[in-house]
Structure 1
């Protein structure tokens, strides 16, 4: 009888803990849902402004330049095209900054490149 009582007590503890955990999970879900709603409300406000998404990619950093693949995966390209994002590799960003410091590209030209690019940005040095 003591063993049965012990097991029943443990089952109740586990049951209560599960209920508590479920309550915490539901609370977290509702908190996340609220944050998502706030985000969408902010996005609607932002859409009226001139905002451009930029993704700076550096996943080839451990690969020699001559052996590098595309700057972005197919999934990243799809997201960039769907949401009008510009993808800049760190290599291109470096060249742009280097040219900017040499006064070979203006801030306006750089911003124009970002604004007018959906997907992977291409930059030709020495225009």
Structure 2
């Protein structure tokens, strides 16, 4: 699980779930001193076991085994984009943010064997974000 900052002091909870082959995003609105949870889990048993997860996650198909993710504005359009590793097919997938909380236009990039993490940063000082993965093997 990771927390990612959004505009206007909002936080999102992002979960990569290899067992259901999806990325789940839970939006949370930040108030003065605590987070008001506005979206949560999809599985009935999860909602019953954890009342905190009473609403639905936004859910995105991301391949066979999504494992790790990073968020950044990769295409300089002002909307956050997702980079998600796929442990089984040795790729990192990019989902471009549409600005309304949804994602579209996946691109796949090859990685080494079994990517366990992904990070985004300007590695070559050209002013543009770069993707880097760390692998299991």
More strand, by proportion = 2
TM-score scaled by length of structure 2:
0.22
TM-score scaled by length of structure 1:
0.23
Between structure 1 and structure 2, the one with the greater Rg is 1
More helix, by proportion = 1
